[in-house]
Structure 1
């Protein structure tokens, strides 16, 4: 054990380290299910004396919650996790438990022996209770950390600029509860004797973690420091400097038995992909039924006020660069453009039909794209699909422009509800739109999609920049 580790007494260990989530929250989850199960039974049957089959159901629910939470890593330390992330992950766990429980009851032909109201109330109430407990604990710990308590001491090693950059990040995220126990500024690759001295400094600092903050080209330094700390108990993290690289949902993973640093991957994969598709089918189907009369009226007006088809069809770039045909209500007179050229609509554009300006300004021309959503080629929320010619033009001018296409394009998006709709007559406007799109991809969650949908309903339909 390192000398720094020897001096650490139980008194110096904060509550969240003595009782980490992987120990506390399985107990709280079981307690939440049991408590709500008894209350739901009292509400449904007027007694808290559960029949043995309901006791068995509570035990199965508790076991499933523990197993699924463990398998998805939900009980791991979440010092840096957001509340939305915690609740989103918890919701997926409870949905999985509900589906499994319903399937077991169905295949066991035991639907008449269990109250559906009791099962629904138990799952809903226990989710609210378990989620509330997580938010309350996280909020309490963050308040304590912001006041200087429950800190985790960190020793920083690396070139001065890198160390300073990481230290600034620690100050900006003070709620995470990290504090600097010591700093070692490197000037080039340190000698072996210096490695030993650095290891001794780390031991004397009492740090719980060592963060090695170096650019990618200093791989030998990382190896040397890791070897010098081989007998230490501090947690060691590598924080590489990617300089000006625009990363997208960067994380570590294991491929072919090797550790990989994913620089540009989509967060919408696996279970998240199924959740987003379910969101598109359920909401998309419901919205399609609601807007059908409006669509029929718009189609009739277009046909009466101008010559040409009701719908405008154009190829756009979809998920992973695959092209698809997008549908819109035609808002311009039928005209021909030069091959490979797409002229954006401008204020007072003479090509607009009598109803075209209104359709574009209110986004009603986009309504047929709900059919694209039901087809699975678009999503309700995502980066707006641009014309192919615009993609060819901007991909060389805007860094990471094509990474917008790592997810399905959307009818509305984070950029649109933040005012970045309509004409992009300057390169700066397109850069800002891409930044918002990439932020959405990097931070996707079901709650973010719902937030964007609500923002679209209340302020996203009309915009002064849409012509």
Structure 2
């Protein structure tokens, strides 16, 4: 029943979004072409624009279904919904531009499209915000609530109960607990809901109380009861959710996978494991790197000439690094050290006023200009524009023993810039903090997150006080 309701609501949301998009189209068309506030060039007639607005509405709804915009968000906050609105309309804009290109519709006003997309993002975000506030208000008055029964009043159950109480806006209310050890866990002084009975009283409890979800928070030695519990819940049409007794050792976003019909718990959700995400990121890497190399080619030639004149040795320095899936590759940089110190560069940290550095090398390092040849690594598939910075094999062997979860960073391609670097973590900074930021990036990757990091790289500049 719950899933059916969610499906109905998803369809209502989709229809409402299409209607809203058409209303926004009419407003945007009036602002651009009829208000007189914005100068405009000769363009297509109204009916052609209206046709493409309808197409855009269908594209936006289809994209929304693909990225999970129309799934249940009871457990999500508004920030998640706002992010999804932006994601849907940015992706839909690129799809629409592709369709316009295919159909050679070159007379569509680009400034109108920008106005149309911005108005959609603002209007839909405001509409969803009002909807969220209305839902929270209804739930605070007791409407649209989901009633929860927790099986297990031990550490897991009490922890979940406290989490539910910290988020009343989500509309969940705990009715109580069932536990076989009431004399041990019954602690009325903790302001907890009562223990209504033993685990075997589940069927009677479901008949006596209106329960929407049963949360199983039992210890490992009670797993033999799961089958009976699930059977009772499914017979009464109650959703069952399980908190694994070992969840403390799991990362923040594990998920269920499937292999040959056998369910598996994947302990780390990595968005780039999905083919569509990998293809999107790789396509962007190729286009961005090729365009960048073309634009900065005069600067590359100038730096190459300066390196050659500054000191003896090759212009490009190749250094072995550990990349995707722990495979080694050679990372390219403009040479910044004297060649007589080459044998120490793979095992020695660079420090302030490092005697191995050339005069030009210090400037290249401080401004990160020595990193520019790594766009070739991106084109070759060794690296990505955005990702964790790769390290030398010598240090990887040390860090993986001393720093928890250090090797997780090798689940994706390393990058020229990254989330850790945008938070000032490069050069002589904490490796532990870098890894925390790298793992956050890996688990929360989105295309917009990459764009944000790239924009911050340009805004913050390339000069770093910790880069030697």
Which residue in 2 is equivalent to 1:223? 227
Q: Tell which deviates more after alignment, 267-276 or 27-36.
A: 267-276
Please state if 1:29 is matched with 2:33: no
Deviations 1:19-75 (A, max 9, x none): 97514421321112221333345466659xx87666655544444444443355421
Higher relative contact order (CA 8 A, sep 6+): 1
Decide whether aligned partners of structure 1 residues 169 and 309 sit closer, same or farther in structure 2, where only a CA change above 3 A counts: farther
Please state if 1:157 is matched with 2:162: no
Please state if 1:211 is matched with 2:205: no
Gaps of 5+ in 1: 6-16
Q: Tell which deviates more after alignment, 61-70 or 378-387.
A: 61-70
Match of 1:245 among 249, 255, 258: 249
- Please say if residues 303 and 309 of structure 1, whose CA atoms lie closer than 8 Å, have aligned partners that are also in contact: yes
Pairwise mapping of residues 221-300 of structure 1 onto structure 2 (< 5 A)?
A: 221-247=225-251, 249-268=253-272, 269-289=274-294, 291-300=296-305
Which residue in 2 is equivalent to 1:11? none
Gaps of 5+ in 2: 36-44, 183-196
Decide whether aligned partners of structure 1 residues 287 and 184 sit closer, same or farther in structure 2, where only a CA change above 3 A counts: farther
Match of 1:415 among 412, 417, 420: 420
Which residue in 2 is equivalent to 1:170? 164
Q: What TM-score comes out, normalization by structure 2 length?
A: 0.78
- Please say if residues 313 and 325 of structure 1, whose CA atoms lie closer than 8 Å, have aligned partners that are also in contact: yes
SS of the residue corresponding to residue 342 of structure 1 reads coil
SS of the residue corresponding to residue 279 of structure 2 reads helix
Number of aligned residue pairs: 441
Q: What TM-score comes out, normalization by structure 1 length?
A: 0.78
Decide whether aligned partners of structure 1 residues 361 and 140 sit closer, same or farther in structure 2, where only a CA change above 3 A counts: farther
Partner Cα separation in structure 2 for residue 307 and residue 147 of structure 1: 77
Partner Cα separation in structure 1 for residue 404 and residue 388 of structure 2: 16
Decide whether aligned partners of structure 1 residues 378 and 140 sit closer, same or farther in structure 2, where only a CA change above 3 A counts: farther
- Please say if residues 302 and 355 of structure 1, whose CA atoms lie closer than 8 Å, have aligned partners that are also in contact: yes
Q: Tell which deviates more after alignment, 138-147 or 384-393.
A: 138-147
Please state if 1:38 is matched with 2:43: no
Decide whether aligned partners of structure 1 residues 347 and 43 sit closer, same or farther in structure 2, where only a CA change above 3 A counts: closer
Partner Cα separation in structure 1 for residue 48 and residue 365 of structure 2: 59
Partner Cα separation in structure 2 for residue 144 and residue 127 of structure 1: 26
Partner Cα separation in structure 2 for residue 210 and residue 358 of structure 1: 62
Partner Cα separation in structure 2 for residue 436 and residue 88 of structure 1: 20
Deviations 1:421-444 (A, max 9, x none): 1136xxxx3222212211111112
Partner Cα separation in structure 1 for residue 208 and residue 245 of structure 2: 27
Which residue in 2 is equivalent to 1:466? 467
Which residue in 2 is equivalent to 1:443? 444
SS of the residue corresponding to residue 230 of structure 1 reads helix
Cα deviation, residue 459, structure 1:
4.1
Please state if 1:355 is matched with 2:360: yes
Partner Cα separation in structure 2 for residue 154 and residue 342 of structure 1: 57
Partner Cα separation in structure 1 for residue 461 and residue 253 of structure 2: 26
Alignment RMSD (CA, Å):
4.0
